[in-house]
Amino acid sequence: MQLYNALYADGFGNITLRTSGSGGSASNPAAGPTGSAVPTAADYIGFSVGGNLVGVSSSNPLPVTSVVSSSALPTGAATSANQATGNSSLATIATNTTGAATSANQTTGNTSLATISTNIALMVPSQGIAGDTTITTGGSAQTLFSGATPVNGFAIYNPDLTNDLWISDSTTASANGQGSIRVPANGGGYETPSRYKPIGPVSIVGSATGQKITAREW
């Protein structure tokens, strides 16, 4: 096969090898229209067999020196184990979101907030209200603070020099009676314990009519 004008650039800027021979076209004898007879000087992909160029065909395929049947997956790629881990993580998320905000949970939250607000209010000092008075009729029980139950607590002091007082927020006060508390004469006093809310109106009794009572509610 004789070569002539070995290399030239076509209209697209491609470098083309010219060879002599039949078939093909005037500009490229190694190429021909689709469906036409193969030119004598047609270009083929081939490989060396015993020093001879052999064209690639179904009977002479390109030799493959290494076949990869399997390869390692990149780190973190999807596997059955990783899928199981993902499922476990999703299950954890589902568990952690159980009990998310609902109207019922909101109601529970509001109740809790109201309780917290009440407890905070109990911790804040309250303005005391004076309820000083005297025993209307000696030996007969009467109520203090106009019969109202103190909101947070109360204190009773006995300035009388000789006569005791008896008080109760759970029953009608009576001397030495069950549920009654003695407030000794000559400066004795009683104050509700910290965080104690009175049960009901404060009943008081003294033995002497006109006996003085010092009282505070808050």
Residues 145-191: tens digit of each pLDDT: 999 999 999 999 999 999 999 999 999 999 999 999 999 999 999 99
How far is it between the farthest Cα atoms of the chain? 149
The total number of structural domains that make up the chain: 2
Measured in residues, the chain has a length of 218
- Name the more confident of 57 and 19: 57
Q: Which of 164, 114, 158, 161 lies closest to 138 in space, CA to CA? A: 164
Contacts of 83 by beta carbon, 8 Å cutoff, 6+ apart: none
Q: Where are the alpha helices (DSSP H) in 26-177?
A: 80-96, 103-123
CATH number at residue 155: 2.60.120
Expressed as residue numbers, the domain containing 150 is: 129-217
What is the C-alpha to C-alpha distance for residues 25 and 16, in angstroms, rounded to an integer?
Answer: 13
Any domain includes 155: yes
Residue 92, in any domain of the structure: no
Q: Is a pLDDT exceeding 60 seen at residue 198? A: yes
Are 164 and 182 in contact by the 8 Å Cβ rule? The answer is: yes
**84 belongs to a structural domain:** no
pLDDT beyond 70 at 35: no
> Does residue 207 belong to any structural domain of this protein?
yes
Position 88 scores a pLDDT of: 83
pTM, 2 dp:
0.47
The answer to whether residue 110 sits within a structural domain is no
Averaged confidence pLDDT in the chain: 81
